[in-house]
């Protein structure tokens, strides 16, 4: 990295690291972090069956609700640095608690996590800072929603205000579908997350994910990525957590990124500061590139999944220092991430039925894998009698790097042919936007 990170001077000890979470995202973070020779041990809590396959990594069960025992356990393990992966512990204030107890944490406090856990708050935040986003209406009752939907002359999107595991957004095709979506949310489909509904102007354009590692004031951008949210090929079917991704996203030119920095990233960090929110973590900007320019679709207070699995192999062994600098408020802002001369792509293998009901517990067989610049990060797996079994909707993240996206996906799909479990499903068209030979293959 162009920051002087060749020595450990100025850094805290980084021998024992704890990563909280159990998905492909956390496994890929652990994999990237353990590359640094100063790191001796990476604990993943709770992790999954794939965590044990990662060098220096060990799964550990920690009860994060038992606060007294938590501090004792972390001290016993001599944890030097903690990375919180998912949004729920962040929204519940785990980072605040750990900081109050003198742990060094990457991840925003509850106040910063509000960018993700309240969509209406995030919309008002953007409105206040004049950050480009779709027009919106915050509604507190079905009656209010009905009035707005009825009188609206533009297509609307319906969103539950709170966290809903990526399932709280409806893109209706008619006013009737709009009513039913609002009704289902107010009727408790997402529990308290649906006490408030956000109606949004439906906007159009390609989507891109931008990640800013932030130390409270300064930030560093990771390579951009594009996710594939829909379940089926040709971007059809229901929204999922993400079926695959690629990075960097060539869709964004340098000029686009400069514009996004000026109109979106810097105003977001300034506004956080104005609100006295000391945001030490990653801000995930879910953007749509519309005809009138980039607009924020959503903020998340965590790394994207599967974007994280896609980007981590592009990081060098000093990545952990960047996270550490963010947690300490020590970024200079001049850090540059030296990405290799390679691009990266990820395909997710899911259980049949995902994102609705699905069964788990099926044995996973992995044949002969090309592991040269290819990784398999477990997303939802477990083990039974020493055998790897499915244990989630998204099961495995198959990732490859190469000099172009055609090669990346050719190799990722070749590896996928070696992976077998009952009901395995994946999209064949991940990265279609950037694969020159894609139409020839289909």
Structure tokens at 324: 């550490």
Q: Does 307 bind ligand GLY (CB under 6 A)?
A: yes
Other CB atoms closer than 10 Å to residue 181's CB: what's the count?
A: 25
> What residues numbered 9-48 form the site for ligand GLY, per CB under 6 A?
none
Classify 359 as helix, strand or coil. coil
Structure tokens at 382: 């477990």
Rounded Cα gap, residues 106 and 215, in angstroms: 9
Q: Of 33-41, 91-99, 166-174, 208-216, which part binds ligand AMP (CB under 6 A)?
A: 166-174
H or E stretch covering 396: strand 394-402
Rounded Cα gap, residues 232 and 250, in angstroms: 23
Q: Of 179-187, 264-272, 297-305, 368-376, which part binds ligand GLY (CB under 6 A)?
A: 297-305
Query: What does 157 bind: ligand AMP, ligand GLY, none (CB cut-off 5 to 8 Å by kind)?
Result: ligand AMP
Extended beta strands in 260-351, E state: 280-290, 293-300, 343-350
Q: Could you give the residue ranges of the DSSP H alpha helices within 105-253?
A: 110-117, 119-129, 142-151, 175-186
Contact 354/243 with Cβ under 8 angstroms?
no
Min dist CB 74 to ligand AMP, Å, is 32
Q: Of the two residues 119 and 218, which places its CB atom closer to ligand AMP in the complex?
A: 119
Q: Binding ligand GLY by CB under 6 A: which of 120, 224, 300, 351?
A: 300
Min dist CB 357 to ligand GLY, Å, is 21
Query: What does 297 bind: ligand AMP, ligand GLY, none (CB cut-off 5 to 8 Å by kind)?
Result: ligand AMP
Of 440, 413, 417, 414, the C-alpha closest to 428 is 413
Query: What does 402 bind: ligand AMP, ligand GLY, none (CB cut-off 5 to 8 Å by kind)?
Result: none
Q: Does 115 bind ligand AMP (CB under 6 A)?
A: no
**Could you tell me how many residues of this chain bind ligand AMP (CB under 6 A)?**
14
Classify 130 as helix, strand or coil. coil
Contact 186/141 with Cβ under 8 angstroms?
yes
DSSP label of 313: G
Contacts with ligand AMP, 181-220, as mask; x by CB under 6 A? -------------------x-xx---x-------------
Give, in degrees to the nearest 5, the angle at Cα 184 between 181 and 190: 110
Start-to-end CA span in the chain (Å): 40
Q: Does 157 bind ligand AMP (CB under 6 A)?
A: yes
Contacts with ligand GLY, 144-173, as mask; x by CB under 6 A? ----------------------x-------
Query: What does 49 bind: ligand GLY, ligand AMP, none (CB cut-off 5 to 8 Å by kind)?
Result: none
Q: Of the two residues 304 and 392, which places its CB atom closer to ligand GLY in the complex?
A: 304
Residues 6+ away with beta carbon under 8 Å from 121: 114, 115
Q: Does 227 bind ligand GLY (CB under 6 A)?
A: yes
Query: What does 305 bind: ligand AMP, ligand GLY, none (CB cut-off 5 to 8 Å by kind)?
Result: ligand GLY
Rounded Cα gap, residues 140 and 435, in angstroms: 45
DSSP 99-123: HHTT--EES--HHHHHHHH-HHHHH
Contacts with ligand AMP, 253-292, as mask; x by CB under 6 A? ---------------------------------x------
Q: Of 139-147, 303-311, 336-344, 355-363, which part binds ligand GLY (CB under 6 A)?
A: 303-311
Q: Of 2-10, 29-37, 126-134, 300-308, which part binds ligand GLY (CB under 6 A)?
A: 300-308
Query: What does 202 bind: ligand GLY, ligand AMP, none (CB cut-off 5 to 8 Å by kind)?
Result: ligand AMP
Q: Note every long-range contact of 8-15, with CB atoms under 8 Å and residues 24 or more positions apart, other chains counting.
A: 8/38, 10/330, 11/38, 11/321, 11/324, 12/80, 12/81, 12/104, 12/324, 12/328, 13/38, 13/80, 14/38, 14/39, 14/80, 14/81, 14/320, 14/324, 15/39, 15/40, 15/41, 15/78, 15/80
Q: Does 304 bind ligand GLY (CB under 6 A)?
A: yes
Position with the least CB separation from ligand GLY? 242
Query: What does 149 bind: ligand AMP, ligand GLY, none (CB cut-off 5 to 8 Å by kind)?
Result: none
Q: Does 242 bind ligand GLY (CB under 6 A)?
A: yes
Chain positions contacting ligand AMP, by CB under 6 A: 134, 157, 166, 169, 171, 200, 202-203, 207, 229, 239, 286, 297-298
Residues that bind ligand GLY (CB under 6 A): 166, 227, 241-242, 300, 304-305, 307
């Amino acid at each position: 990295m162009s920051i002087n990170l060749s020595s450990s001077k100025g850094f805290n000890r980084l021998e024992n690291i704890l990563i909280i979470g159990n998905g492909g995202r956390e496994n890929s973070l652990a994999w990237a972090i353990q590359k640094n020779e100063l790191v001796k041990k990476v604990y993943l809590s709770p992790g999954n069956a794939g965590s044990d396959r990662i060098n220096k990594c060990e799964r550990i069960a920690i009860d994060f609700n038992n606060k007294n025992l938590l501090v004792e356990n972390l001290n016993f393990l001599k944890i030097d640095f903690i990375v919180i992966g998912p949004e729920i512990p962040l929204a519940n204030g785990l980072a605040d608690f750990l900081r109050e107890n003198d742990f060094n944490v990457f991840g925003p406090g509850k106040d910063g996590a509000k960018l993700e856990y309240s969509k209406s708050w995030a919309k008002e935040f953007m409105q206040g800072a004049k950050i480009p986003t779709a027009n919106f209406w915050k509604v507190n009752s079905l009656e209010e929603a009905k009035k707005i939907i009825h009188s609206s002359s533009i297509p609307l999107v319906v969103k539950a205000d709170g966290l809903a595991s990526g399932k709280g957004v409806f893109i209706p095709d008619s006013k009737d579908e709009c009513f039913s979506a609002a009704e289902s949310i107010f009727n408790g489909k997402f529990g308290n997350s649906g006490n408030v509904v956000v109606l949004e102007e439906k906007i159009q354009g390609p989507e891109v994910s931008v990640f800013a590692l932030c130390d409270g004031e300064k930030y560093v951008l990771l390579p951009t990525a594009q996710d594939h949210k829909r379940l089926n090929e040709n971007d059809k079917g229901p929204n999922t957590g993400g079926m695959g991704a690629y990075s960097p996203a060539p869709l964004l030119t340098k000029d686009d990124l400069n514009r996004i920095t000026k109109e979106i990233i810097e105003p977001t960090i300034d506004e956080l500061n104005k609100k006295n929110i000391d945001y030490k973590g990653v801000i995930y900007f879910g953007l749509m590139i519309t005809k009138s320019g980039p607009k924020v679709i959503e903020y998340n207070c965590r790394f994207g999944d599967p974007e994280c699995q896609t980007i981590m192999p592009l990081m060098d062994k000093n990545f952990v220092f960047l996270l550490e600098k963010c947690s300490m408020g020590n970024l200079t802002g001049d850090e540059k991430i030296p990405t290799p001369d390679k691009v990266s792509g990820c395909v997710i293998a899911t259980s049949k039925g995902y994102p609705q009901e699905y069964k788990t517990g099926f044995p996973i067989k992995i044949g002969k894998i090309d592991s040269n610049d290819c990784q398999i990060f477990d997303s939802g797996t477990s083990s039974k009698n020493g055998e790897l079994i499915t244990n989630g909707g998204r099961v495995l993240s198959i990732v490859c790097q190469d000099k172009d996206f055609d090669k990346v996906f050719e190799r990722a799909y070749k590896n996928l042919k070696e992976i077998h479990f009952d009901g395995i499903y994946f999209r064949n068209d991940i990265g279609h936007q950037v694969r020159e030979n894609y139409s020839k293959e289909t």
